[in-house]
Amino acid sequence: MILKRIGKILSNKTNKALDSLENPIEHLERAIRVKEQLLNKTKQESASLLGKPNQKDKKIAELKEEILKYDARIKEAKKQNKTEIGIKCLTKKKELEENLKTIEKEREILVGNATKIEAKIKKLEEDIRLLKDKKDSLKGRYS
């Protein structure tokens, strides 16, 4: 019984001595720095990614305009009974429509990725805020 008490006392004193050597504020500051570096890196990645859907939008608009032009050419060829020209225009129009579908899918993927990155940025900002709040609350205890 006495040996158990002595063991607990020694264990408590050892833990207290180790706690005094460790500074939780330093650990939090290190964690904050790591999160801030990750946040900056993520923001840089998002900056390059966020402009890409706009580029795809421009390409989509251009393709739709081209498709309309080929529609008009097909109608004109039909009026003038120029089937060979009409077939060539129809083939080109189909090719443009396939390109359009591909680019629209790529745009959807880019928007999805941008949304994920924005959510990651918000989470990192929230994590940093929580760590800073925790650090401020510990300053009173360890100052």
The residue-averaged pLDDT of 83-108 equals 94
Residue pair 114/57 in contact (Cβ under 8 Å)? The answer is: no
| pLDDT on residue 90 | 92
Q: Is the per-residue pLDDT at 8 higher than 80?
A: no
Query: Residue 127: how many CB atoms within 10 A of its CB?
Result: 16
Contacts of residue 43, Cβ cutoff 8 Å, sequence gap at least 6: 121
Pairwise CA distance, residues 94 & 44, whole Å: 38
% of the chain surpassing 70 pLDDT: 92
pLDDT tens digit sequence for 35-68: 999 999 998 888 888 778 889 999 999 999 999 9
Mean pLDDT of the 89-110 span: 95
| Percentage, residues of the chain above pLDDT 90 | 55
Of the two residues 72 and 25, the one the predictor is more confident about is: 72
